[in-house]
Structure 1
Amino acid sequence: MGVAYVSNERKITAFAAAALLLSSLSLGGCATSTAGSSLMDARAEAPAPPKASVYLPVEDLPPKREKPAMTPDERLKLQKELIAARDRQASGGKARKGAARAQPMKP
């Protein structure tokens, strides 16, 4: 292995390129930190936007109701209606099981 021959011009060019690269990186870092701090200062001075939400915040609960949504009589009536509807559907399903099932159509 021999020592590679590098001319003085190439050394100077490489040194100049390295110096230019390092100076641009260091100046670029200063520019972003200055711009970033001024943006953060502007945001810190801006007033907070008004709170506009259609949903209640989690910690805010609505006040207790003065009267219940349903009285015990209304609840009993609704339960009876639901039980009757369930029984009607169950008896209709049993009647259909005895009948011939419809064959699914092929697409």
Structure 2
Amino acid sequence: MLFSLSLAGCATSAGSSLMDARAEAPMPPKTSAYLPVEDLPSPREKAAMTPDERLKLKNELIAARDRQAAAGKAKGAAIAEPAKP
């Protein structure tokens, strides 16, 4: 018992205790289970896309859709017709 008391005395004579270590530790950021809906991003200075860029992109997407539809029909027709020996 005296041995344990002497060890406890050495631990506290170092100048810091466990309570001091907790007080010096930085606090973790406060987290919540909910998304921060009140934190809105700042408004943009410039629009993401100009109307001309949107029109160009829309036309490119329509062309790509039409190419895919035509390729799908051609592939479907080739599968539907049996190969002649």
TM class by shorter-chain length? 0.5 to 0.7
Report the TM-score, using the length of structure 2 for normalisation. 0.52
Larger Rg: 1
What are structure 1's unaligned runs of at least 5 residues? 1-37, 52-57, 102-107
What are structure 2's unaligned runs of at least 5 residues? 1-16, 30-35, 81-85
Higher relative contact order (CA 8 A, sep 6+): 2
Task: Give 4+ residue runs of structure 1 displaced > 2 Å after superposition.
Answer: 38-42, 58-63
Q: Which residue of 1 aligns with 2:50?
A: 71
Which of 52, 76, 79 is the aligned partner of 1:97?
Answer: 76
Report the TM-score, using the length of structure 1 for normalisation. 0.43
Q: Which has the higher helix share?
A: 1
Aligned residue pairs, count: 57
- Percent identity between matched residues is 68
Cα RMSD, aligned residues only: 2.9
